Structure 1
Amino acid sequence: MSTKENPLSTTPHDDHDSPQPSPRHALTVLGAGVMGVGITVLALGHGLPVHLVDVDRERLDRAADLIDGELRLAELMGALPAGTPLGTLVTGTSAKAVAGATAVVEAVTENAEVKAAVLAEVSGLVRPGTLLITNTSSIPVDELAGALERPEELVGTHFMNPPYLIGTAEVVRGARTGEPAMAAVAELLTALRRRAVVVRDAPGFVTSRVLHPMINDAARVVQEGTATAADVDALMQGCLGHPTGPLRTADLIGIDNLVDSLTVLHERTGDDGCRPAELLLQLVREGRLGRKSGRGFYDYA
Structure 2
Amino acid sequence: MAIQTVGIVGSGIMGSGIAEVAAKAGHTVVLRSRKQETAQAMVAGLEKSLAKQVDKGRLSPEDRDAVLGRVSATDHIGDLAGCDLVIESVVEDLEVKRALFAELDDVCKAETILATNTSTLPVVEMAVATRRPDQVVGVHFFNPAPMMSLVEVIAPLTASEATVEAVTAFASACGKDPVQVKDRAGFIVNALLFPYLNNAVRMLENGTASRDDIDAAMKGGCNFPMGPLALLDLVGLDTSLSILEALYAEFADPNYSPAPALRRLVAAGHLGRKSGQGFYEY
Q: TM-score, normalised by structure 2?
A: 0.89
| CA distance 1:67–1:250, change in 2 (3 Å) | farther
Equivalent of 1:115 in 97, 120, 124: 97
* Structure-to-structure mapping, 1:144-223, within 5 angstroms: 144-223=126-205
Partner of 1:106: 88
The separation in 2 between residues aligned to 1:57 and 1:220, in whole angstroms, is 43
How far did 1:154 drift?
0.8
Is contact 2:3–2:170 with CA below 8 Å preserved after alignment? no
Equivalent of 2:106 in 124, 144, 158: 124
How far did 1:42 drift?
1.8
Partner of 1:52: 31
Partner of 1:238: 220
How far did 1:290 drift?
2.2
Q: Is residue 12 of structure 2 the alignment partner of residue 33 of structure 1? A: yes
| CA distance 1:48–1:75, change in 2 (3 Å) | farther
SS, match of residue 100 in structure 1? coil
Percent identity over the alignment is 35
Partner of 1:140: 122
Partner of 1:86: 67
Aligned residues: 278
Is contact 1:123–1:149 with CA below 8 Å preserved after alignment? yes
SS, match of residue 137 in structure 2? strand
How far did 1:164 drift?
0.8
**What does the per-residue CA deviation read over 1:66-109, in whole Å, with 9 as the maximum and x for residues that have no partner?**
32223334556787799753143322223222202111001111
Q: Is residue 79 of structure 2 the alignment partner of residue 97 of structure 1? A: yes
Q: Is residue 207 of structure 2 the alignment partner of residue 225 of structure 1? A: yes
The separation in 2 between residues aligned to 1:206 and 1:259, in whole angstroms, is 18
**What does the per-residue CA deviation read over 1:103-126, in whole Å, with 9 as the maximum and x for residues that have no partner?**
100111111111111111111211
How far did 1:151 drift?
0.3
How far did 1:240 drift?
1.4
| CA distance 1:299–1:58, change in 2 (3 Å) | farther
Q: Is residue 50 of structure 2 the alignment partner of residue 71 of structure 1? A: yes
Query: Which runs of 5 or more structure 2 residues have no equivalent in the other structure?
Result: none
What amino acid sits opposite 1:224 in the alignment? Answer: N
Q: TM-score, normalised by structure 1?
A: 0.84
- The 10-residue stretch of structure 1 (156-165 or 245-254) with the greater mean CA deviation from structure 2: 245-254
| CA distance 1:146–1:86, change in 2 (3 Å) | same
The separation in 1 between residues aligned to 2:114 and 2:213, in whole angstroms, is 42
| CA distance 1:206–1:43, change in 2 (3 Å) | same
Provide the aligned C-alpha RMSD in A. 2.4
Query: Which runs of 5 or more structure 1 residues have no equivalent in the other structure?
Result: 1-22
| CA distance 1:235–1:72, change in 2 (3 Å) | farther
The separation in 2 between residues aligned to 1:74 and 1:276, in whole angstroms, is 38
| CA distance 1:206–1:66, change in 2 (3 Å) | same
The separation in 2 between residues aligned to 1:136 and 1:97, in whole angstroms, is 23
- The 10-residue stretch of structure 1 (90-99 or 64-73) with the greater mean CA deviation from structure 2: 64-73
**What does the per-residue CA deviation read over 1:11-46, in whole Å, with 9 as the maximum and x for residues that have no partner?**
xxxxxxxxxxxx952111111113212212222333
The separation in 2 between residues aligned to 1:246 and 1:179, in whole angstroms, is 36
How far did 1:182 drift?
1.6
The separation in 1 between residues aligned to 2:267 and 2:115, in whole angstroms, is 31
Equivalent of 1:269 in 251, 262, 265: 251
How far did 1:172 drift?
0.9
Name whichever structure is richer in helix by fraction: 2
The separation in 1 between residues aligned to 2:197 and 2:229, in whole angstroms, is 6
| CA distance 1:35–1:138, change in 2 (3 Å) | same
